[in-house]
Structure 1
Amino acid sequence: MKNNNRFILGGLATAALTGCGGQPEPPRRPMNILYIMTDDHTSQMMSCYDGRYASTPNLDRIAEEGVRFTNSFVANSLSGPSRACMLTGKHSHKNGFYDNTTCVFDGSQQTFPKLLRKAGYETAIVGKWHLESLPTGFDHWEILPGQGDYYNPDFIRQTGDTVRCEGYITNIITDKSIEWLEHGRDPEKPFCLVVHHKAQHRNWMADTCDLALFEDRTFPVPETFYDDYEGRPAAAAQEMSIASNHDMDPIYDLKMRQPGRKSRLSDAYEAMIGRMNPEQRAAWDRFYEPIAADFYARNPQGRELAEWKFTRYMRDYLKTLKSLDDNVGRLLDYLEESGLAGNTLVVYTSDQGFYMGEHGWFDKRFMYEESLRTPLVMRMPGGAKGQIAEMVQNIDYAPTFLELAGAPVPEDIQGRSLLPLLRGGHPEDWRESIYYHFYEYPAEHMVKRHYGVRDERWKLIHFYDDIDVWELYDLEADPRELHNLFGNPAYAAEQERMMKELVKLQTQYDDTAAMEKNASYDRKR
């Protein structure tokens, strides 16, 4: 047996004092961490947040047995940058990974897996990485190249080779995660396992066993589906419209393939289905070919086309989500059956939110609520239960895990540990606002660069560079963010207060480049 004395000061229960009869209690083992993160899963499609569309019983299990954060936000609503914020506990301008098109993550920098290893943890990551460089700080890793593929995906292994795995991606990531828990880790050490799923990322390719699900479902379009973007030129300039065949490609996104038909992204779709084995491809074609034939025969236009695309999008998203929820259930069941559940913090979240037709959109990127918000549920043995309303961000995960492990939290980490909240506390000095900065422009979907601040009621945004537009929203009176109040004299006091709050956070987080762009504020008000 290995000496476990190094754990006496680790974890939640540092060494206990004395037990009955004055006998010292044995030191308790530090708590394990299972961190599950999906891609583009939004709270509108998680039933413990919103019961209109989805049923996610296994994800809801975590909330029912633990806590659900009702004000969880990201610092940069884009896959790679969000992951970098999570790993480092720092905003994008500090961790150096701003966007998915120009950046490579600097693996030599400080990350929470490296710090957990110093505290005696064994660390592993399985699934999506999407940071261009290879992982560092993990004892074990097996990652998808780039975005990965839903069918028969490739994995890059620590040995340097890339191998193709037969099957469906969500099942495979779960299989590999359980395999590491069962046979790959050192049972003498506490562990931190990071499980990063490709789902729910575009283009929502369901497992063949789930293809026929939800075909009887219809969905009312969101109230803002036909938004005209009045007074919001940045919102009007995006390229993430469901109605647009350029933005939401009928072949790539909705699988409306027919021989001889081409579209902007049809070649990419052909490559995806070309990975399928004969059995998978037969099931796929058997399902989608009749739908495509009917679609092209009817040739819907205008609003009929937009709403048909919305329905197909929603159905495919739900099918992919069904597999995800089932596989989260497999992981939770494994923890129970193996006896690990009683000493494992379980975290489920997404790398950002997503638009499910709100404002007529799919995708994310904007600081508007649907992509700024992200689901976050946690189950900590002995911890709090119920809802947590404090404002939290994905920069908070790193300090949370470090404090849980009994490891020091470096001063340069910009997030704040959620452990006091998980223990049922409500610190009086908790943050009253959050900061956001999005950088990827020009790029896919063409969302303008912007930064901003949000508090419990108000939001101030500055779109900059090729545009110079400020927006102010009263989220209580206008939760759908349709009415830009910036420059309205009736709201001058709130506008000035939010500007001061923005500068305060930019100063706190040392985003000096953004502060220089604030100069346009005086010209605009």
Structure 2
Amino acid sequence: MGDRNVLLILADQHTPRVLGAYGNRQVCTPNLDALSRDGLRFDAAYCNSPLCAPSRASLVTGRYVHQLATWDNAAPYTGAEASSWGALATRHGVEVTTIGKLHFRNTEDPTGFPDQRLAMHVANGTGDPYPLLRGRMRTNPSERAALLAAGPGDCPYDRYDADIAAEAVRYLTHEASADRPWLLTVSFLRPHDPYVVPPRYWEQYAGEALPLPPAWAADSWPRHPGYELRRRLTDTETGLTEQEIRRVLHAYYALVTETDDHVGQVLDALARRADAGTTTVIYTADHGDMLGAHGLWTKMTMYEDSVRVPLIVARPGSAAGVVDAPVSLVDLYPTIRDLLDLPRAAEDADLPGQSLLAADDTPVFAELHASYAPSAVYMLRTARHKLIHHVGAPPQLFDLDHDPDELDDLADRPEHATTLAELTARLERIVDPAGTDRAAKQSQQTRIDRAGGAAALAARGIGVHFTPVP
């Protein structure tokens, strides 16, 4: 018999490095820390694409991005690519509601989420086509400027998240069914940049000496051609000073604490319900944030700070603990199906994920086909190693048991050639790296042409730096 209800709480761009439950002793996250103490904390959880729209499409369908062709933020989920767990639950009488960011195409598409409140989707229903140029984009000084603008202030994103929390509290207090199971997704926008935070949260970290990220100084940066190109395109070839980095960290920590406060409001409302004892709570994020690690910012890399996510599953009556086995967000579909005791649909027989209630050592896969990656980048994560496969550029290989900060690339070491070959072969059993790269680029070129061509897009530049709130 499954659980009666599921509450899924999503953050946007939250790296587990900045969360008390994952060992950070300076960030203030009491609500998420308490949730972790009551549940399972997954220490090796990953998104399947470190970019908003592709990650969310993969999350709700339980399928990889290349299976869906939701390559980038201008190819959002429509419901036609594959069925979602929302659709499965709705078909079987579960009350399915979402509050907050979804980043699909629009509210009207048959995505399987019939009750969308305060829904944020991609801008204009299409997303910005300019990033489809990928490595052909020109240097964008606003990327660096956004980092240097970190500090206290007013941002619509914070008001939006406050509204999301209030609507979730209202729904749980007055609307969630007492007679049939419900599945509620509460999806916050923070700690996603811009790194502008309400003053009361900023002041909480005044004077704190926050830990600097791995390889933040330019003399320790990896000089891989893909990362060098990204730094040039984002105007960060000249690294930020230590003081500037600390200011971004200050803002980010404050944004995480703000998110934790909103999570606490939702959990308090749940605790007041009679069915709280039959409700499983899941907390995760669509991807992480580099925060200057390895000289890189925001997401869209396969380094841990970008692709690894927090994942906590608190199930009433189940033992708490820590799971070390690698898992990923495609595992949410079979997990939610099992928690709600839903029958398996015939079309879902080939889902690549596994229920988190029975995690094993199956390798985790992620992919990126967007923005600053001139060609596809793939990740394969096993219990010990991580392979980062760059199409048209050198691979990277890390032993995460001995090098969790990914400072020592083993890919060109003769003594690790066998491991590199084995992991590459396992990756190629999941995806055709070069063929999938071609397919993504063909799709993107079609959309570039539809938008007036590469020259017109390059002349126009970026159109949507931050998705506007609804």
Q: Indicate whether the TM-score tops 0.5.
A: yes
Contact kept in structure 1, 2:376 and 2:437, CA below 8 Å: no
- Secondary structure of the residue that 1:212 maps to in structure 2? helix
Please give the per-residue CA displacement for 1:323-373, whole angstroms capped at 9, x wherever unaligned.
211111111111112223201000001111221332133211111222121
Distance change (3 Å), C-alpha of 1:240 and 1:170:
farther
Distance change (3 Å), C-alpha of 1:55 and 1:403:
same
CA distance in 2, matches of 1:366, 1:237: 13
Contact kept in structure 1, 2:6 and 2:340, CA below 8 Å: no
Percent of aligned pairs sharing the same letter? 27
Q: For residue 56 of structure 1, what is the amino acid of its counterpart?
A: T
Please give the per-residue CA displacement for 1:145-183, whole angstroms capped at 9, x wherever unaligned.
548997457xxxxxxxxxxxxx82222101111212223
CA distance in 2, matches of 1:311, 1:240: 22
Matched, 1:212 2:203: yes
- Secondary structure of the residue that 1:316 maps to in structure 2? helix
Shift of 1:462: 2.0
Please give the per-residue CA displacement for 1:171-209, whole angstroms capped at 9, x wherever unaligned.
210111121222334332111000010101111332344
CA distance in 1, matches of 2:258, 2:267: 14
* Equivalent residue, structure 1, for 2:217: 226
Matched, 1:85 2:58: yes
Aligned partner of 1:113 among 80, 86, 89: 86
Please give the per-residue CA displacement for 1:409-434, whole angstroms capped at 9, x wherever unaligned.
3213221111235xxxxxxxx34311
Contact kept in structure 2, 1:238 and 1:447, CA below 8 Å: no
- Secondary structure of the residue that 1:317 maps to in structure 2? helix
* Equivalent residue, structure 1, for 2:408: 483
CA distance in 2, matches of 1:451, 1:145: 26
CA distance in 1, matches of 2:425, 2:21: 35
* Equivalent residue, structure 1, for 2:40: 67
* Equivalent residue, structure 1, for 2:134: none
Contact kept in structure 1, 2:66 and 2:436, CA below 8 Å: no
CA distance in 1, matches of 2:257, 2:333: 29
Q: For residue 412 of structure 1, what is the amino acid of its counterpart?
A: D
CA distance in 2, matches of 1:232, 1:140: 45
CA distance in 1, matches of 2:226, 2:349: 36
Shift of 1:408: 2.3
CA distance in 2, matches of 1:176, 1:186: 15
* Equivalent residue, structure 2, for 1:472: 397
Aligned partner of 2:250 among 315, 336, 351: 315
Q: For residue 396 of structure 2, what is the amino acid of its counterpart?
A: E
Contact kept in structure 2, 1:168 and 1:207, CA below 8 Å: no
Aligned partner of 1:451 among 378, 389, 399: 378
CA distance in 2, matches of 1:447, 1:516: 12
Shift of 1:44: 0.8
The equivalences for 1:232-243 within 5 A come to 232-239=224-231
Distance change (3 Å), C-alpha of 1:378 and 1:403:
same
- Secondary structure of the residue that 2:281 maps to in structure 1? strand
CA distance in 2, matches of 1:400, 1:220: 35
Please give the per-residue CA displacement for 1:279-299, whole angstroms capped at 9, x wherever unaligned.
xxxxxxxxxxxxxxxxxxxxx
- Secondary structure of the residue that 1:237 maps to in structure 2? helix
CA distance in 2, matches of 1:373, 1:354: 9
Contact kept in structure 2, 1:239 and 1:446, CA below 8 Å: no
CA distance in 2, matches of 1:57, 1:449: 38
TM-score (norm 2): 0.79
* Unaligned runs of at least 5 residues, structure 1: 1-10, 13-29, 154-166, 249-301, 422-429, 518-525
Shift of 1:214: 1.2
CA distance in 2, matches of 1:203, 1:362: 12
CA distance in 1, matches of 2:434, 2:297: 32
Distance change (3 Å), C-alpha of 1:41 and 1:447:
farther
Q: For residue 283 of structure 2, what is the amino acid of its counterpart?
A: Y
Shift of 1:36: 0.3
Matched, 1:497 2:422: yes
* Equivalent residue, structure 2, for 1:188: 179
Contact kept in structure 2, 1:231 and 1:483, CA below 8 Å: no
Q: For residue 72 of structure 2, what is the amino acid of its counterpart?
A: D
Q: Which range is displaced more, 404-413 or 54-63?
A: 404-413
Matched, 1:411 2:333: no
- Secondary structure of the residue that 2:204 maps to in structure 1? coil
Matched, 1:132 2:54: no
Shift of 1:471: 2.1
- Secondary structure of the residue that 1:435 maps to in structure 2? strand
Aligned partner of 2:120 among 113, 135, 144: 144
Q: Which range is displaced more, 480-489 or 124-133?
A: 480-489
Q: Which range is displaced more, 140-149 or 107-116?
A: 140-149
Larger Rg: 1
**Aligned residue-pair number:** 403
* Equivalent residue, structure 1, for 2:263: 328
CA distance in 1, matches of 2:295, 2:274: 46
- Secondary structure of the residue that 1:213 maps to in structure 2? helix
The equivalences for 1:262-281 within 5 A come to none
Contact kept in structure 2, 1:229 and 1:235, CA below 8 Å: no
Please give the per-residue CA displacement for 1:242-273, whole angstroms capped at 9, x wherever unaligned.
xx7x359xxxxxxxxxxxxxxxxxxxxxxxxx
* Equivalent residue, structure 2, for 1:513: 435
CA RMSD of aligned residues (A): 2.8
Higher percent of residues as helix:
2
Contact kept in structure 2, 1:38 and 1:199, CA below 8 Å: yes
Contact kept in structure 1, 2:191 and 2:255, CA below 8 Å: yes
Distance change (3 Å), C-alpha of 1:186 and 1:339:
closer
- Secondary structure of the residue that 1:496 maps to in structure 2? helix
CA distance in 2, matches of 1:478, 1:247: 26
Distance change (3 Å), C-alpha of 1:354 and 1:515:
closer
Shift of 1:58: 0.2
CA distance in 2, matches of 1:446, 1:91: 18
Contact kept in structure 1, 2:7 and 2:184, CA below 8 Å: yes
* Equivalent residue, structure 2, for 1:436: 366
* Unaligned runs of at least 5 residues, structure 2: 125-152, 440-470
* Equivalent residue, structure 1, for 2:150: none
Shift of 1:84: 0.6
Q: For residue 492 of structure 1, what is the amino acid of its counterpart?
A: A
Distance change (3 Å), C-alpha of 1:479 and 1:436:
same
CA distance in 1, matches of 2:256, 2:13: 11
Q: Which range is displaced more, 469-478 or 372-381?
A: 469-478
The equivalences for 1:283-362 within 5 A come to 306-362=241-297
Distance change (3 Å), C-alpha of 1:131 and 1:447:
farther
* Equivalent residue, structure 1, for 2:6: 33
Contact kept in structure 1, 2:106 and 2:121, CA below 8 Å: no
The equivalences for 1:248-267 within 5 A come to none
- Secondary structure of the residue that 1:469 maps to in structure 2? coil
Q: For residue 168 of structure 2, what is the amino acid of its counterpart?
A: S
Q: For residue 399 of structure 2, what is the amino acid of its counterpart?
A: D
Contact kept in structure 2, 1:89 and 1:395, CA below 8 Å: yes
Distance change (3 Å), C-alpha of 1:67 and 1:437:
same
Distance change (3 Å), C-alpha of 1:316 and 1:308:
same
Aligned partner of 1:46 among 9, 19, 29: 19
Distance change (3 Å), C-alpha of 1:371 and 1:223:
closer
